[in-house]
Amino acid sequence: MSYDLLISRITERLKALGMSERKACLTADVGLNSIRHIRVRGHAPKPETLAKLANVLEVPASYFLEAAAEGHEKSKDPIEPNKNHFAAVEKVYVKGFVQAGTWQDALEWPMTDWMSIYIPPDPRYMNVARFGLEVRGDSMNKVYPEGSIVIAVRLDDLGRLPRNGERVVVLSRCTNGNSAMEATIKKYQIDTQGRHILWPESTDPLYQTPIILDDRAKSLGIDGHDADHGASCDIEIYAVVIGSYRPE
């Protein structure tokens, strides 16, 4: 397996702290060759090992765990469920939330607040980074009840535009001098007139007005008119929703 991102992050921290691999392993109370085995042999690291190393190298555990999960996803090796390493599920980090009418400074929480969930591998996106978002409120409750976790992929990582009928993560920044943004989920459609429309799917009358993007939206992520707010907003279609998870 290839853990290039993980090794680069570990190396970065070692250099920043002026610490050798051996000293880091010794201080973390893990095997003295733990880092070398990842770097040279491509061994799958145990999560507890990475958490200990992260503590010694003064970063959140998620900084190493996320990189390890990405390295595992990019591997072409078959997953053997009886092997004592990552199981036949994949870790995805829930990095933020979406909620209509709620303004926030950034889509992602600080890394220390990320939550991990485990989901089945998705063969459609084996080499693409995925992330989770918590759904709050009722603006998409026909599809995603409050508390659902949606799994998404950034459009930049996919290298394509959204497709008709896909549900997408939409970021809105209104031109009122406020730098805050709203993150929501909408269904992307192109109607018979060629208009790009973002539809809520809600039982709540407050969240049933679509966002109709203007002609410039053919390049997407440009200007639109959000009738829910009655203001001119910059609309960015940020990611495509590829799945969802509902905790019991």
pLDDT tens digits for 93-139? 999 999 998 999 999 998 888 988 888 878 888 778 899 999 999 99
What is the dihedral angle through the alpha carbons of 160, 161, 163, 169, rounded to the nearest 10 degrees? 110
The whole-number pLDDT of residue 69 equals 75
What is the structure's pLDDT at 241?
96
**For 92-245, CATH number?**
2.10.109.10
What pLDDT does residue 77 have? 47
210: pLDDT strictly greater than 70: yes
Q: How do beta strands 196-199 and 211-213 pair? A: antiparallel
E strand map for 59-143: 90-98, 103-104, 115-119, 131-135
**Cα–Cα–Cα angle for 146, 133, 122, nearest 5°?**
110
**pLDDT per residue as tens digits for the range 32-88:** 888 988 888 777 788 888 888 988 998 877 788 778 876 655 554 444 444 444 445
> Comparing C-alpha atoms, which of 77, 53, 75, 76 is closest to residue 63?
53
pLDDT above 70 for 229? no
Q: Domain boundaries in the chain? A: 4-74, 92-245
CATH of domain 4-74: 1.10.260.40
